[in-house]
Amino acid sequence: MAKVLLIEDEESLRNLYTRILSSRNYTVETAIDGEDALLKLPEFQPDIIVLDIVMPNYNGVELLRILKNDEQHRKIPVVMLTALSEMKKITKCLEMGAVGYITKDSSVEDIAHKLNLILKSFSIN
């Protein structure tokens, strides 16, 4: 069972994505912002990270930069979570090493399918 660290500052979305992922047999740990995520990473050791772009205390771009510059965490695949209006930031994140993105208006099936494909490509699922 793959372990997902979900980093999302909006409680309603965090709860929704946690339910979606848990129903697909993922083990989910959540963080409310970048600082919280950095505290939880060492103990949880996720197989994949779902990272919101817009949030306080290290936005998604800043946190991605930190993760990709850290020897211990750089190989963890990161999927960005975004609104469609943030496509310039998504492009930047993909250039920095994010493996994909999910838009916040995606269906439950689309979210689960995309994460499943990414996990399979990294031989984690």
DSSP string, 56-73: SSS-HHHHHHHHHT-TTT
CATH code for the part of the protein at 3-121: 3.40.50.2300
Distance of CA 75 to the CA centre of its chain: 13
Nearest-CA neighbor of 55 among 72, 30, 25? 30
Distance in angstroms (rounded) separating the CA atoms of residues 70 and 55: 21
The percent of residues above 90 in pLDDT, for the chain, comes to: 59
> In this structure, how many other beta carbons lie within 10 angstroms of the beta carbon of residue 20?
19
pTM of the model: 0.92
Helix-helix angle 60-68:34-44, to 10 degrees = 40
Question: What pLDDT band is residue 58 in, cutting at 50, 70 and 90?
Answer: confident
Task: Indicate the SS3 state at residue 91.
Answer: helix
Mean pLDDT score, 69-86: 88
Whether residue 125 is predicted with pLDDT greater than 70 in this model: the reply is: no
69 versus 115: the higher-pLDDT residue is 69
Q: Is the dihedral of CA 115, 121, 124, 125 positive or negative?
A: positive
